[in-house]
C-alpha cells in the first residue's frame, strides 16, 4: 500500500499545519466506509476532510470534490454529528511509525462542559477503521466493530479502552544514523532480493518505496543483498537516511493518463515507461490519485453497458454486411443463369422431362461445348423459366443489396464514431450525452429518466491557438452536429480527420484568407488527437469553410458531406493539445 507509515507521518504533519484551529461544520457519510467533514477555517478554504476505511484503498486527505449523500444518514454518521459538530481541532498527529492519524478535538458535551474527543483513522488495509474516542481513551463508537471472534489480539468495541495495534518486530529507520544503517546493511548477506530485505527489516516502508531504495542503490530491481558492494551498501544507507529525515517530495506516477502509483518521494524505478508528475502537497497527491481513479472507474462503469450495446450492434452489422456482399457477388454473376436459360430454350426440341443434363454448343462463348445441369422433376420449359426467374430476381436484388450495403457501411462508420466518443469520455456527463444519442438513434430503449433530463448540457472543448484564435471541438456526435450546423458561422474553418471517426473542429475566423498556417496546423493537430488515429503519424485532416459542409437528409449524428476542401497531414501532439486547451 502506498500509504505507508512514513507517508502518513509526513501527512499528519502537513494536516496539522492546516487543520489546527478549524471547526467542524458538517459531517456526511456518502459511502459505507467514507466520512466527509466540512470545515470552517481560512486555511482550508472550503475543502473537506475525507476519511476512508475502505479495505482496498484506505486514505485521509483534503478534497474540494462534492459528493452525493444518502437521503438519511447512517447511525455512525449521526453519532459523529452529535459528538463533533462545532468542535475545534486542537491537534493532528500520528503515533510513531504507525499507519494511524489522530484528530483531537475540543468539544462541549450535552451539559455544555468542555471535553476532548479523538477521531482516529486507521489506514491499515483490510484492518482499516474509523474510531471515536472520549477523553479517557475509551471507544465511544467505531465504523467497524472488532470482537474477540474476529481478533484475539486486539478488540475495538464501544466501552473498551483504545489500544494501538501490536508493534512489529522490525527496526525503526528514524532511530539510526547513516553509519549505523550502513553497518546493518553490511551485515545482511542473505540470498534475498534487496526490496524484500528492506520490507522485512525496517518498519514504515511500502513495497513501492522499498523497491525505489533498492533501485537507487543498485540501479536494478532484481538485485540480491549478497551481491551488494560496499559502495552500494553506503548508497543504500544514504538513501534510507535521506528519505526518513528530509522533507517529502510527493509525486504521482502515470501509466498514460491513468494514475498508477504515488509516493512521498520521486519514483525513478520505472524509467521512461511511466510519466512522473510532482504534486504540491501530500494531501493533494492522495486527492488527485484516488479521485481521478474514482472518476475513471465511474466512467468505466457507466460506459460499459452502452459500449457493449454499440459493439454488439457493430458486430451484427459487420456480419450482415458480409452476407450482403456475398449475395451481391452472386447477383453480379447472374448472366450465367440467363445464358443457361436461353441455351435450354434453344435446345428444347431435343430435351425431355427426367433428363439430368445435356450437351450443348455455347454460342455465347466461341461455340464451346458445355454440359448444362437440369432438374429432373421439371420439364425443359420449366427448367428454362426457373433460371429466367432467378436471373430477374438477382437483377432486381443488385440495386437493393447495393443500397443496403451502403447503408450498412454508413452504420459501421457511425458506430465506430460512437465507440471513439465513449473511449475519450472524460466524465460521467460525457457518457450520459452519448447514452442520450443512442436513445435517439434507437440503439437503446427510449426509457425516460427524469434525473438525466435535468442534466446541464456539456460545452464543447475550447482551445486558444498560439495566435489567439478560438477553436472548438465536439465531444460526441450530437455536439459535432450542433457545433458545425448551428453554432459555427459560414466563414469559420471546419476540420475533421479523413475517413477516420473523430471530433468536428471549428476555428472562428473570416475564411482562409489571412489565416496563419500555424493556426490550421494547430487545429488539425487537435482534430487528429481527438480521433481514432490519435496514436498514428501523418494523419490526413480535411479542412474547408463551414459553408461547404452539409448534412445529408436522414444521415446519422455526426455524419456530413463536404466539398472545396484541402487536406493537411499532421502528427497528433498531446503536449500541444494540453497547452491550447482551456481548463475552465
DSSP string, 334-397: THHHHHHHHHHHHTGGG--TT--EEEEEETTTTTEEEEEE--TTS-HHHHHHHHHHHHHHHHHH
Place of cell 473537506: 48
pLDDT of 101 reads 96
Cα atoms found within 13 Å of the Cα of residue 245, Cβ hemisphere only: 13
The secondary structure of the chain in percent helix, strand, coil, rounded to multiples of 5, reads: 40, 20, 35
Least Cα distance to 488 among 530, 460, 468, 526 occurs for: 460
461-464/470-473 β-pairing: antiparallel
pLDDT of 202 reads 95
Give the 3-state secondary structure of residue 275.
Answer: strand
Handedness of CA 384, 390, 392, 394 (dihedral sign): negative
pTM: 0.65
Angle at 522 between CA 518 and CA 526, to 5 degrees: 170
Contact 91, 105 (CB under 8 A): no
CA distance 324 to 454: 43
pLDDT of 447 reads 62
Least Cα distance to 2 among 291, 246, 262, 268 occurs for: 262
pLDDT of 450 reads 45
Handedness of CA 364, 365, 367, 373 (dihedral sign): negative
Place of cell 534510507: 240
pLDDT of 455 reads 53
Burial of 268 (0-12, 13-18, 19+ CB in 10 A): middle
CA distance 405 to 583: 43
| Per-residue cell: 565 | 476542401
Contact 331, 395 (CB under 8 A): yes
| Domains recognised in the chain with CATH numbers | 5-142 (2.30.310.10), 173-286 (1.10.8.50), 305-457 (no CATH), 459-580 (no CATH)
DSSP secondary structure, 152-189, as one string: SS--B-TTSBP-PPPPPSSB-GGGS-HHHHHHHHHT--
CA distance 203 to 212: 15
User: What element of type H or E holds 51?
Assistant: strand 48-52
Contact 302, 428 (CB under 8 A): yes
Angle at 494 between CA 555 and CA 556, to 5 degrees: 10
Helix axes 207-218, 194-201, angle to 10 degrees: 130
pLDDT of 457 reads 67
pLDDT of 265 reads 94
Contact 37, 83 (CB under 8 A): no
Give the 3-state secondary structure of residue 117.
Answer: strand
CA distance 467 to 522: 10
Contact 454, 535 (CB under 8 A): no
| Per-residue cell: 61 | 486527505
Find the Cα–Cα–Cα–Cα dihedral 263, 264, 265, 270, rounded to 10°: 10
Counting other chains too, the contacts that 498-502 makes at CB distance below 8 Å and 24 or more residues apart are: 498/540, 498/541, 498/542, 498/567, 499/540, 500/531, 500/532, 500/533, 500/539, 501/413, 501/416, 501/417, 501/419, 501/420, 501/531, 501/532, 502/417, 502/420, 502/527, 502/528, 502/530, 502/531, 502/532, 502/533
pLDDT of 299 reads 77
Cα atoms found within 13 Å of the Cα of residue 75, Cβ hemisphere only: 5
100-108/461-464 β-pairing: unpaired
| Per-residue cell: 347 | 435446345
CA distance 199 to 196: 5
Say which DSSP state 270 is in: T
pLDDT lower than 70: segments of the chain: 1, 446-457, 584
Least Cα distance to 493 among 467, 462, 524 occurs for: 524
Least Cα distance to 132 among 99, 86, 84 occurs for: 84
Amino acid at each position: 500500500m502506498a500509504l505507508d507509515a512514513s507517508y502518513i507521518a509526513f501527512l499528519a504533519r502537513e494536516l496539522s499545519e492546516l487543520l489546527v484551529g478549524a471547526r467542524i461544520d458538517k459531517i456526511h457519510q456518502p459511502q459505507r466506509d467514507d466520512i466527509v467533514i466540512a470545515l470552517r477555517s481560512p486555511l482550508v478554504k472550503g475543502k473537506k476532510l475525507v476519511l476512508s476505511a475502505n479495505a482496498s484503498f484506505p486514505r485521509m486527505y483534503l478534497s474540494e470534490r462534492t459528493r452525493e449523500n444518502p437521503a438519511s444518514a447512517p447511525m455512525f454518521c449521526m453519532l459523529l454529528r452529535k459528538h463533533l459538530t462545532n468542535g475545534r481541532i486542537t491537534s493532528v498527529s500520528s503515533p510513531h511509525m504507525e499507519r494511524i492519524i489522530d484528530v483531537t478535538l475540543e468539544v462541549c458535551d450535552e451539559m455544555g462542559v468542555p471535553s476532548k474527543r479523538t477521531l482516529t483513522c486507521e489506514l491499515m488495509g483490510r484492518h482499516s477503521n474509523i474510531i471515536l474516542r472520549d477523553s479517557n481513551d475509551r471507544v465511544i463508537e467505531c465504523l467497524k466493530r472488532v470482537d474477540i471472534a474476529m481478533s484475539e489480539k486486539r478488540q475495538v468495541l464501544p466501552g473498551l479502552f483504545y489500544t494501538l495495534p501490536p508493534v512489529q518486530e522490525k527496526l525503526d529507520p528514524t532511530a539510526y544514523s547513516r553509519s549505523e544503517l550502513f553497518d546493518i546493511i553490511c551485515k545482511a548477506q542473505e540470498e534475498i532480493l534487496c526490496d524484500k530485505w528492506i520490507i522485512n527489516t525496517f518498519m514504515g516502508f511500502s513495497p513501492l518505496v522499498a523497491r525505489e531504495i533498492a533501485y537507487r542503490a543498485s540501479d536494478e530491481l532484481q538485485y540480491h543483498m549478497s551481491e551488494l558492494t560496499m559502495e552500494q551498501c553506503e548508497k543504500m544507507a544514504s538513501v534510507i537516511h535521506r528519505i526518513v529525515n528530509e522533507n517529502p517530495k510527493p509525486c504521482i506516477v502515470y501509466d498514460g493518463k491513468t494514475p498508477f502509483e504515488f509516493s512521498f518521494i520521486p519514483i525513478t524505478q520505472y524509467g521512461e515507461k511511466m510519466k512522473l508528475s510532482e504534486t504540491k502537497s501530500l494531501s493533494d497527491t492522495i486527492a488527485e490519485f484516488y479521485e481521478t481513479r474514482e472518476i475513471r472507474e465511474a466512467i468505466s462503469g457507466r460506459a460499459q453497458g452502452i459500449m457493449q450495446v454499440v459493439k454488439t450492434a457493430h458486430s451484427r452489422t459487420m456480419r450482415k454486411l458480409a452476407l450482403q456482399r456475398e449475395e451481391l457477388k452472386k447477383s453480379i454473376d447472374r448472366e450465367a443463369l440467363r445464358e443457361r436459360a436461353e441455351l435450354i430454350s434453344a435446345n428444347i426440341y431435343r430435351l425431355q422431362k427426367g433428363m439430368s443434363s445435356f450437351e450443348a454448343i455455347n454460342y455465347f462463348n466461341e461455340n464451346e461445348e458445355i454440359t448444362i445441369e437440369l432438374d429432373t422433376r421439371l420439364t425443359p420449359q420449366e427448367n428454362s423459366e426457373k433460371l429466367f426467374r432467378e436471373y430477374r430476381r438477382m437483377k432486381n436484388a443488385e440495386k437493393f443489396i447495393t443500397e443496403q450495403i451502403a447503408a450498412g457501411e454508413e452504420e459501421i462508420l457511425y458506430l465506430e464514431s460512437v465507440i471513439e466518443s465513449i473511449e475519450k469520455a472524460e466524465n460521467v456527463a460525457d457518457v450520459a450525452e452519448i447514452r442520450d444519442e443512442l436513445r435517439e438513434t434507437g440503439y437503446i430503449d427510449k426509457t425516460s429518466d427524469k434525473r438525466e433530463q435535468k442534466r446541464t448540457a456539456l460545452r464543447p472543448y475550447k482551445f486558444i491557438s498560439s495566435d489567439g484564435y478560438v477553436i472548438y471541438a465536439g465531444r460526441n456526435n450530437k455536439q459535432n452536429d450542433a457545433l458545425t450546423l448551428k453554432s459555427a458561422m459560414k466563414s469559420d474553418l471546419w476540420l475533421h480527420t479523413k475517413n477516420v471517426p473523430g471530433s468536428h473542429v471549428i476555428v472562428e475566423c473570416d475564411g482562409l484568407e489571412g489565416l496563419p498556417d500555424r493556426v490550421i496546423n494547430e487545429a488539425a493537430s487537435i482534430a487528429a488527437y481527438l480521433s481514432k488515429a490519435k496514436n498514428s503519424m501523418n494523419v490526413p485532416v480535411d479542412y474547408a469553410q463551414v459553408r461547404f459542409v452539409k448534412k445529408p437528409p436522414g444521415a446519422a449524428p455526426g455524419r456530413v458531406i463536404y466539398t472545396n476542401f484541402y487536406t493537411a497531414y499532421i502528427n497528433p501532439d498531446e503536449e500541444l493539445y494540453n497547452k491550447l486547451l482551456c481548463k475552465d
